[in-house]
Structure 1
């Protein structure tokens, strides 16, 4: 009866029928959001809600979109610091995202809906339906970046060795730990790990699924879009940027300036966090078997940002200065213990001295390894030079970007103009490829 009443109402006609909405809700969303109604979101199972095209509960304040390789991890840590609530769904199918959001959004708090593109290779009907069921007229924050810089990051993208060492003791060879960091190779049937970045893997990043922007926007019903360039969330500007966003999107302003100056995914990525177990048995007997023994003292080798991100900051205190006689090269690197564990360690002079010696050797070796890894990395100029020598790939990227940057070029041409490497890429294409040839490539792909 409720369905029939709703489908015959003027509100349904105005909201769904007139505009030929592809997923018309079978119940009145206004009543569903009212807990006083007998039939509301809490009384309808998520699976049934999906089948009935019910819009997501309206307990969200804005939608956040981010292109992969654009600083997504960093801004998520900033959102956490500002007490924004969201669900992490990097690769889940779109229906699963809906079901989880449907339950999550029933709790009244400062919620946001997050989508970080990794691939559009989903069931496209479900993809379209998910975004069409975001029905609330709210603003959209879209994090973007110079596409050439994104590709450079893709080529250099580190990935954890599947055989990574995460637990250390006094007898662990520090150089074995540095095998934890590898690089993304190809995404084929057999995922490829590479010991160093390689330009041969560049084509796997140049696909519509990863570079799309305008295509994503076209899925949205309401398009009040605020573009944010990744340069605005780098350490020197991140705090001020988040204050501006807090005013615009009405969330809590940050107060901890130091946190925003830290780097979430820098040179330390995948080398930390690590679990270190200090145990006297490893001094007395030279073996590697003692880790989580009851007598072990647990030490977390991590960073201020990761401690905050994983909500460990209240338990663990940074005792770095107690173990090192000089400031560390990487200020964000820290040695964290619970207060009572540190006091226990200090009482045992021989164990404390052995731990201090090990940690100093570890950090020295880590700094040496980081310099070696840095030398492997490609720069944007290397990517541009590769395109200069690879015409087919260059034209493919040109074709994709011409399509996907339409919206931002129209509404934020200033951001596009600030993308130095993209402008160089455009100039290169203009000089090397005639306009007719580019159009021919577009026609062939269409």
Structure 2
């Protein structure tokens, strides 16, 4: 039985867990009266369900080190998978960004799957996680909000109680589109905004085309909203902890350094035997081992 073992520099794995996003704001439908920046402001958080914070924190590092059900269990798992003989080892850094397309083609060839096409290269280069919990969002566009907008955004949701509006779905290509919907991204943008897509139901599409005044307001709003999405993504990227932050933590905390050393030794036990050159590529793990050697 063949299998894929996706591996990564353990320090980078830990960093990713620390930066793991949670959803804070669960409302998914708003009105034209709502400022796009306000809609997006509190949607993303970090930490745990009982203690979600606006910033990622090193305080949760011990949890990820000790939880073997979720983290650093590959070595134990492979030893127990007695029926798995053909393991394809894939390093995470080889399927991120510009390397993704080339290496996904190699993987498909190895497993005798359909080979990705050249037109798929952009898709593999994207980061799906950047849009997590920000989209999809629905905007309910109603005539009653047009007059309100003359005085700026009021962030009220009164129009949601009224009939006769048009619902615009701002989503991504990663979300399965409904069968009765049509993509209208090209009506708002000449340039690509992938992976963002603007969708509308077939029922509302007719009303959208017939009402030029409301259509103009919707177009202006959607353009502003999409701009704010990319601004928000940049803000969240700036919050991320780095591998250097993790290494500094281990320099200062002896007990957790020892715990992480034990966790990674178990995680890499099989890989040390089968793919030692992969481990040699990991600069942050090398830096961690150096800290251990120098600090004792």
TM-score by length of 2: 0.86
Q: CA deviation at 1:237?
A: 2.6
Q: CA deviation at 1:337?
A: 2.7
CA RMSD of aligned residues (A): 2.4
Residue equivalent to 2:282: 419
- Give unpaired runs (5+ residues) of structure 2: 150-155
Checking the alignment, whether the CA contact within 8 Å between 2:46 and 2:53 is kept in structure 1 is: yes
Q: CA deviation at 1:408?
A: 0.8
Q: CA deviation at 1:215?
A: 0.7
Structure 2 residue 107 is the aligned partner of structure 1 residue 231: no
CA distance in 2, matches of 1:357, 1:314: 27
Judging changes above 3 Å, is the alpha-carbon distance between structure 1 residues 237 and 220 closer, same or farther for their aligned structure 2 residues? same
CA distance in 2, matches of 1:419, 1:341: 52
Residue equivalent to 1:264: 128
Structure 2 residue 80 is the aligned partner of structure 1 residue 215: no
Higher share of residues assigned helix: 2
Residue equivalent to 2:53: 194
Equivalent position SS for 1:364:
helix
Q: CA deviation at 1:158?
A: 0.9
Checking the alignment, whether the CA contact within 8 Å between 2:33 and 2:148 is kept in structure 1 is: no
Residue equivalent to 1:384: 247
Judging changes above 3 Å, is the alpha-carbon distance between structure 1 residues 370 and 252 closer, same or farther for their aligned structure 2 residues? closer
Equivalent position SS for 2:128:
coil
CA distance in 1, matches of 2:248, 2:286: 14
Q: CA deviation at 1:252?
A: 2.4
Q: CA deviation at 1:194?
A: 1.1
Cα deviation digits, residues 196-240 of structure 1 (max 9, x gap):
111111111102331111111122122322111112221323233
- Give unpaired runs (5+ residues) of structure 1: 1-137, 434-446
Q: CA deviation at 1:359?
A: 1.8
TM-score by length of 1: 0.59
**Largest Rg, 1 or 2:** 1
Which of 157, 174, 190 in structure 2 is aligned with 1:288? 157
Which of 299, 314, 339 in structure 1 is aligned with 2:168? 299
Q: CA deviation at 1:313?
A: 7.6
Residue equivalent to 2:36: 174
Q: Relative contact order: is structure 1 or structure 2 higher (C-alpha 8 Å, sep ≥ 6)?
A: 2
CA distance in 2, matches of 1:191, 1:414: 41
Count of residues in correspondence between the two structures: 284
Judging changes above 3 Å, is the alpha-carbon distance between structure 1 residues 292 and 240 closer, same or farther for their aligned structure 2 residues? farther
Equivalent position SS for 2:220:
helix
Cα deviation digits, residues 123-157 of structure 1 (max 9, x gap):
xxxxxxxxxxxxxxx11111111111111111111
Residue equivalent to 1:10: none
Structure 2 residue 24 is the aligned partner of structure 1 residue 165: no
Structure 2 residue 115 is the aligned partner of structure 1 residue 250: no
Checking the alignment, whether the CA contact within 8 Å between 2:72 and 2:266 is kept in structure 1 is: no
